Structure 1
């Protein structure tokens, strides 16, 4: 990563805190945990939602080790440009995560094996959250895995409870990790498996 990525992250947070959702980029400890469910063999199709400055992207690419395909969906054009500059071969889409099905279709890609997300879920409306999760479920393989992050400061608050309810409606199993203290703020990684496909 380029050395100015941390400063750029703070600048984007100050410009649009609800869209960025965190004051600091995701730590290596959390990034590694988010990427863990990516299959270690084969050529998986992986989608990253809200890659920001690429802190998690780097760990996803390490996990893939040159295999498969990673599409990063980033709504902020400044972050998207930074990602493309730092990872020239990366498939970056400047788009809304709810448009996943169209993005996959436009690229001729099939069902997704793993979705990794650092989206600021608690800033979304319930309708927006469920729209994105429905798009994921409809695009994932039956044994697909979704990982996402929330912070210890948000976990017991009503907005996250709404997100958790939506996750449980969308996936058969939803399990949190232990608290990961090596992050600002400390975080939990939630792992959701087996999407419930809806018409």
Structure 2
């Protein structure tokens, strides 16, 4: 939506370190990012950095009213818009570093899937480590973290550092094919089975 793009760009201009992108992700990217969300059962899905809700919409579609969907957004303005549009998701204004406590506060122990829209390459090493630690602590032993990166930034030092840390934190890390329909082009990491 044009309004979402304007809101997202405005939030990026105010705080590029936490918004991390100049435009919302595409539906094509959302389908790949949300693909680990089970279409059966009663899963617990945690979404980090939902922004304007492109991934949120796809997660809700895949859940079809089942399970639990917690979306943690640090930006109160973006969170307010999400709550109105996605009543099936529990929108929480908070910091993803506090993920285990946020989950416990809502009566949940573990997540089956963590879907991340966080701008990993914009984060310093210490923050990357704290976030990955919180995610690993939260996921079930067979859980999956799915996140994305931009193709043009793949060889930048923060992106390479994140990839190394991801491979240290999970038993299996599988990158997707390039999603050319996203602006800018992106790819998805599916990281499975956290190492404890």
Deviations 1:109-168 (A, max 9, x none): 121000001100011111101111111111111100110010011111111011011111
Distance 1:3 1:180 in 2: 21
Distance 2:184 2:88 in 1: 31
Q: For structure 2, list consecutive stretches of 5 or more residues without a partner in the other structure.
A: none
Distance 1:106 1:57 in 2: 21
Coordinate RMSD, CA, aligned = 1.1
Alignment of 1:1-80 (within 5 A): 4-80=3-79
Distance 2:154 2:108 in 1: 34
Distance 1:189 1:22 in 2: 16
* TM-score (norm: length of structure 2): 0.97
| Residue 89 (structure 1) shift | 3.8
| Residue 3 (structure 1) shift | 5.8
Distance 1:87 1:151 in 2: 26
Contact 2:65–2:88 at 8 Å: present in 1 too?
no
Deviations 1:54-98 (A, max 9, x none): 011000100111110100000011101111121234211111111
Secondary structure of 1:150's match?
strand
Distance 2:72 2:79 in 1: 8
Q: For structure 1, list consecutive stretches of 5 or more residues without a partner in the other structure.
A: none
Distance 2:41 2:88 in 1: 19
Moved over 6 A (4+): none
| Residue 187 (structure 1) shift | 0.1
* TM-score (norm: length of structure 1): 0.95
Partner of 1:146: 145
